[in-house]
């Protein structure tokens, strides 16, 4: 009995009294929630109108700085830049006038010798020779040849290429 519903007012039917009080309590909670929501919506509307008024108005304070920034060492930086540029020009002229210690002609001659020796020693000549170029087109009728992987292989068909003069 201690856990059963005990109404504040005496009632003939406790079950109905509990239902009525529960429904009135829920109505009261819904009313409070609606009031809170209406207050929030009103405040949001006021804030939105204030923000739109601020964006529409020009404003009363001039906070823009319309002057260029001045540096106290501008002249010093320009002088340093000129000095570095002059030094670079002098170094560039010295490099241009200096004769090279390496003789390019000897290097090119040595490279030609190495290429000739390499071609002489090699088992097969470098590059494609005229003997390796196909002379005519050979087409086979019937089904195409397939490799062991099942992929169609057209490498066995040759095409005729024009010889360059």
Whether residue 140 is contained in a domain is answered as no
Question: What's the pLDDT tens digit per position in 76-89?
Answer: 999 999 999 999 99
pLDDT of residue 103: 86
Whether residue 20 is contained in a domain is answered as yes
Count of domains for the chain: 1
Q: Answer for the pair 133, 164: CB distance below 8 angstroms, yes or no.
A: no
Which SS3 state, helix, strand or coil, does residue 138 take?
A: strand
Q: Answer for the pair 5, 14: CB distance below 8 angstroms, yes or no.
A: yes
Whether residue 23 is contained in a domain is answered as yes
Range of the domain at 43: 11-55
Question: What's the pLDDT tens digit per position in 19-44?
Answer: 999 999 999 999 999 999 999 999 99
- Residue ranges of the chain whose pLDDT lies below 70: 1-2, 125-138, 140-165
pLDDT of residue 127: 64
Q: Answer for the pair 35, 43: CB distance below 8 angstroms, yes or no.
A: no
- pTM confidence score: 0.32
pLDDT of residue 50: 94
Q: Answer for the pair 138, 159: CB distance below 8 angstroms, yes or no.
A: no
| Residue 32 to residue 76: CA distance in whole angstroms | 73
Whether residue 22 is contained in a domain is answered as yes
């Amino acid at each position: 009995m201690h856990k059963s519903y005990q109404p504040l007012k005496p009632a003939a039917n406790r079950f109905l009294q509990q239902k009525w009080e529960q429904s009135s309590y829920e109505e009261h909670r819904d009313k409070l929630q609606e009031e809170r929501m209406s207050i929030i919506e009103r405040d949001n509307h006021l804030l939105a109108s204030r923000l739109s008024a601020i964006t529409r108005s020009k404003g009363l304070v001039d906070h823009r700085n319309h002057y260029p920034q001045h540096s106290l060492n501008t002249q010093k930086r320009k002088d340093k830049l000129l000095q570095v540029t002059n030094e670079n020009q002098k170094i560039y002229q010295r490099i241009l006038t200096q004769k090279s210690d390496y003789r390019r002609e000897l290097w090119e001659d040595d490279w030609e010798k190495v290429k000739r020796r390499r071609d002489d020693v090699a088992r097969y000549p470098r590059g494609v020779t005229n003997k390796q170029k196909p002379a005519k087109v050979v087409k086979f009728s019937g089904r195409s040849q397939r490799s062991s992987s099942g992929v169609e292989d057209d490498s066995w068909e040759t095409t005729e290429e024009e010889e360059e003069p």
